[in-house]
Amino acid sequence: MPVITEIEDLRRIYHRRVPRMFYDYCETGSWTQQTFRENTSDFADIRLRQRVAVDMEGRSTATTMVGEDVAMPVALAPVGMTGMQCADGEIKAARAAEKFGVPYTLSTMSICSIEDVAEHTTKPFWFQLYVMRDEEYVANIIQRAKDAKCSALVLTLDLQILGQRHRDLKNGLSAPPKLTIPTMMNLATKWGWGLEMLGTKRRQFGNIVGHAKGVTDASSLMSWTHENFDPRLNWDRVKALKEQWGGKLILKGILDEEDARRALDVGADAIVVSNHGGRQLDGALSAIRALPGIVRAVGDQVEVHFDSGIRSGQDVLKALALGARATYIGRAYIYGLGAMGEAGVTRALEVIHKELDTTMALCGRKTIEGLSRDILLVPDDFE
Ligand code: FNR
Is 138 part of a structural domain of the chain?
A: yes
pLDDT at 114: 98
- Residues in the chain with pLDDT < 70? 383
Residue to substitute in 279, 280, 327 for testing ligand 1 pocket (most ligand atoms within 8 angstroms of CB) = 279
8 Å CB contact between 217 and 209: yes
Q: Report if residue 324 sits inside a domain.
A: yes
pLDDT of residue 174: 86
Nearest-atom number in ligand 1 for the CA of 253 is 23
Q: 127 CB less than 6 Å from ligand 1?
A: no
Q: Is 276 a catalytic residue?
A: yes
What's the CA-to-centroid distance between 4 and ligand 1, angstroms?
A: 23
**What is the number of domains present in the chain?**
1
Choose the catalytic residue: 120, 211, 226, 276.
Answer: 276
CA distances from 320 to 49, 275, 317 (A): 15, 17, 5
62: domain range?
A: 7-364
Q: What is the pLDDT of residue 203?
A: 74
Q: How far are the Cα atoms of 131, 174, 265, 272, 357 from residue 269, in angstroms, in the given order?
A: 18, 35, 11, 10, 27
Q: Is 329 in the pocket of ligand 1 (CB under 6 A)?
A: yes
State residue 226's pLDDT score: 86
ipTM above 0.85, yes or no: yes
**Within a domain: residue 32?**
yes
Q: Is 25 in the pocket of ligand 1 (CB under 6 A)?
A: yes
Q: Please report whether residue 2 resides in a domain.
A: no
- pLDDT at position 172 is 87
Decide if 377 is inside a domain.
Answer: no
167: alpha, beta or left? (left if phi > 0; alpha if psi -120 to 50): alpha
Domain assignment present for residue 376? The answer is no
pLDDT of 92: 98
Q: How far apart are CA 145 and CA 141, in angstroms?
A: 6
Asked whether the whole model's pTM tops 0.90, one would answer yes
> Which of ligand 1's atoms lies nearest the C-alpha of 332?
29
> Does residue 199 lie in a domain region?
yes
Contacts of 280 (CB under 8 A, 6+ apart): 30, 158, 159, 163, 253
How far apart CA 235 and CA 238 sit, in angstroms, is 5
* Residue at 369 is within a domain: no
CATH number at residue 315: 3.20.20.70
Q: Is the CB of 276 under 6 A from ligand 1?
A: yes
